[in-house]
Chain A
Amino acid sequence: MSKNPAVLRSKKITVEFSGFKAINELDFQVNRNTVHFVIGPNGAGKTTLLDVICGNARASKGSITFNEKYELAKMSENEIVHRGISRKFQAPSVFAHLTVFENLEIAMKQKKTLRSILRAKMTKEEEQKLTDMLDLIGLTSEKDKSAGSLAHGQKQWLEIAMVLMQEPDLVLLDEPIAGMSKQERIKTGELITKIAKERAVLIVEHDMDFVKDYADVVTVMHEGQLLFEGSMEDVQKDPKVREVYLGRKVDADAEVTGT
């Protein structure tokens, strides 16, 4: 489908919550330099998919390989981060009592063992990296404000920046534009396009207009399985997808076709 090599590959993963299969034998692949959206009705297993990739949930069966060599299923959350996968959660969870700058400082890619943190001193290089990132997300003037005092949209960007500071190969975003204004959405979309030039971005999203505008690849999930995968145009034409959405929501047709 895409000429880019795979960064993440799952084989027949199953995630169970007390007998209920949130994800059922899913085969799934994310390629480099791709904005990859996952959509599907509620309970399709989208967020669980992100959870199992970043270690927040455990697969009962199957394997997930990252960069062709790392098996994620057995790694702890912090190990997975150091391999190059960072996740942004749905609700903004920036550290309200730290400044914007300090939030980025602790998020930054560095050895995060106690020993190296004890010795850590802000180097010129690090400071430059932080300044560049502030520039990218447009929060330079908010640098010394406490993150708790930011507007909702700014918190979301800060959090995306925190994810990026770890220089990941794969970024996981869970509904990044929820609660954003039209302008903020556009800015976020541009940010995502920009960051996907160097890495894969996997996004769970409900807003079909947003998916249509920025997706390279769209995966439709249904009841823990992959229903369809392709470009947004193909997705909109696919009869199976239409059926799933129509069967669940009255205005789903409008949502899927983006009219």
Chain B
Amino acid sequence: MQNRIYQSVFSRKIVFSLILLILLLAPLFLSDFRLNLLGKFLAFAILAIGLDLLWGYTGVLSLGHGIFFGLGAYAMAMYLKLEATGGKLPDFMAWSGIQELPLIWIPFQYPILAIILGILIPACLALFLGYLTFRNRINGVYFTILSQALVLVIVTLFIGQQNLTGGTSGLTNFSTFFGFQINSATTQTVIYFVTVVALVLVFLGCKKLVKGRLGRVLVGVRDGENRMRFLGYNPSTYKTFVYTISGAIAGLAGMLFVLQVGIISPTMIGIVPSIEMVLWVALGGRGTLIGPVIGAVFINAAKTGFSESYPDYWTYFLGALFVIVVVFLPKGIMGLVEKLKERWNKVDVKESSSVEIEKNYS
């Protein structure tokens, strides 16, 4: 009887429903400021799910997801900027001596188109890069290094093209979204709910993908890419597919981020944030989908908490947290939950689907 209670407490469905309930009720007990922060964390959590699909299930470690996130964020920011200026040239363009709205900005006058492009552009970039790299069997560390290079290239490009992107200061000073005041508490609450819905949809979508036969094939690609070839699969197709999906999800997360934070700049999409994204997934537990959500929220909440209470030392706390997780919780928070569950049940549970952490660094 006792066993059964623990088992049900920790069963994923219950965890999922509980988290969802808390998220939906959050506006009742959180201040506007805190709710806005939580919304931002949830946007990160969306990205983390996509990253887990790629890393935890398919075994492809990308240290360049900041870029896909950034492309989505900039797409949304460009629209917001144009709406703020009322169709006139944004200020930074006028300062650079530009007379007319540049061609690449034109589609972003239309909100629906901007939203579609915010998902489509990162997806297409991922498709293109994935196709070239995976087809040529660039795998493992080599792919990871390449994904870092991608960040450098794109960030440099964004900073360099100041007249098009706002340079290092990025895009900010937005006023309205679909005509609603973007900074009003009501709009922000609505955007928060939209973020929760997006999170749930992305989570369930990814869950459906990995529950099907595709999930088994992806694990096969992760654990024995070459073996899969001799079972008649072409692993590069699967990797490209997941990379594309993951890029699209990152773009969606970027859009929701901008709506709640009100600014996007190259430092937010660069190398450091890209690596942090991977840490969210690692801390939460790879190959679990729910783990990365917890990881993203937990790390970002810790970051905010530490920086508020100990403004001078918070980076040390954060560093220590990562070391503790890597050393003591190689399978992340979900790995710990799994372990506790096993201890309580005192029966052999099927090996969790997450892999040992060292595998991906070899």
Residues of A within 8 A of B (CB): 54, 56, 76-78, 81-82, 86-87, 89, 93, 95-99, 102, 105-107, 112-114, 117-118, 120-122, 144-146, 148-149, 162, 166
Would you list which residues of chain B between 214 and 263 have a CB under 8 Å from chain A?
Answer: 214, 216-217, 219-220, 223-224, 227-234, 237-238, 241
- B212–A112 contact, CB under 8 A? no
**Within the assembled complex, what's the spacing in Å between the Cα atoms of A144 and B234?**
26
**Within the assembled complex, what's the spacing in Å between the Cα atoms of A105 and B220?**
11
Mask: chain B, 334-358; 1 = CB below 8 Å from A; 0 = not? 0000000000000000110101000
- B353–A81 contact, CB under 8 A? no
Q: How large, as a class, is the contact surface on chain B?
A: 20 to 34
- A114–B237 contact, CB under 8 A? yes
- B231–A97 contact, CB under 8 A? no
Please name all residues of chain A whose beta carbon is closer than 8 Å to the beta carbon of B227 when the two chains form the complex.
Answer: 89, 93, 95
Please name all residues of chain B whose beta carbon is closer than 8 Å to the beta carbon of A77 when the two chains form the complex.
Answer: 229-230
- A112–B232 contact, CB under 8 A? yes
Given contacts A95-B224, A118-B214, contact A82 B351 (CB under 8 A): no
Pick 20 A–B contacts, CB within 8 A, sort by A. A54-B230, A76-B229, A78-B233, A86-B231, A89-B230, A95-B220, A95-B227, A97-B219, A97-B223, A106-B217, A106-B233, A107-B231, A113-B234, A114-B241, A117-B214, A120-B213, A120-B214, A121-B213, A145-B350, A146-B350
Please name all residues of chain A whose beta carbon is closer than 8 Å to the beta carbon of B228 when the two chains form the complex.
Answer: 106
- Report which of B209, B216, B230, B241 forms a contact with A98, defined as CB distance below 8 A: B216
- A95–B223 contact, CB under 8 A? yes
Mask: chain B, 199-212; 1 = CB below 8 Å from A; 0 = not? 00000000001001
Mask: chain B, 244-288; 1 = CB below 8 Å from A; 0 = not? 000000000000000000000000000000000000000000000
**Within the assembled complex, what's the spacing in Å between the Cα atoms of A112 and B234?**
8
Please name all residues of chain B whose beta carbon is closer than 8 Å to the beta carbon of A122 when the two chains form the complex.
Answer: 213
Please name all residues of chain A whose beta carbon is closer than 8 Å to the beta carbon of B234 when the two chains form the complex.
Answer: 76, 78, 112-113
Please name all residues of chain A whose beta carbon is closer than 8 Å to the beta carbon of B237 when the two chains form the complex.
Answer: 113-114
- A114–B238 contact, CB under 8 A? yes
- A105–B223 contact, CB under 8 A? no
- A97–B355 contact, CB under 8 A? yes
- B217–A117 contact, CB under 8 A? yes
Q: Which of B229, B232, B234, B237 has the most CB of A within 10 A?
A: B232
- A78–B219 contact, CB under 8 A? no
Mask: chain B, 174-208; 1 = CB below 8 Å from A; 0 = not? 00000000000000000000000000000000000
**Within the assembled complex, what's the spacing in Å between the Cα atoms of A117 and B229?**
15
- A166–B232 contact, CB under 8 A? yes
- A105–B216 contact, CB under 8 A? yes
Q: Which of A86, A97, A120 has the most CB of B within 10 A?
A: A97
* List of 4 A-B pairs having minimum Cβ-Cβ separation, nearest first: A81-B232, A77-B229, A120-B213, A146-B351
- B230–A148 contact, CB under 8 A? no
Q: Find the A residue at minimum CB distance from B241.
A: A114
**Within the assembled complex, what's the spacing in Å between the Cα atoms of A93 and B262?**
50
Known: A81-B229, A166-B232. 6 other contacts (CB 8 A): A93-B227, A95-B219, A97-B219, A114-B237, A121-B213, A162-B231
Please name all residues of chain A whose beta carbon is closer than 8 Å to the beta carbon of B232 when the two chains form the complex.
Answer: 78, 81-82, 112, 166
**Within the assembled complex, what's the spacing in Å between the Cα atoms of A122 and B212?**
9
Given contacts A81-B230, A113-B237, A117-B217, contact A93 B351 (CB under 8 A): no
**Within the assembled complex, what's the spacing in Å between the Cα atoms of A113 and B241?**
11
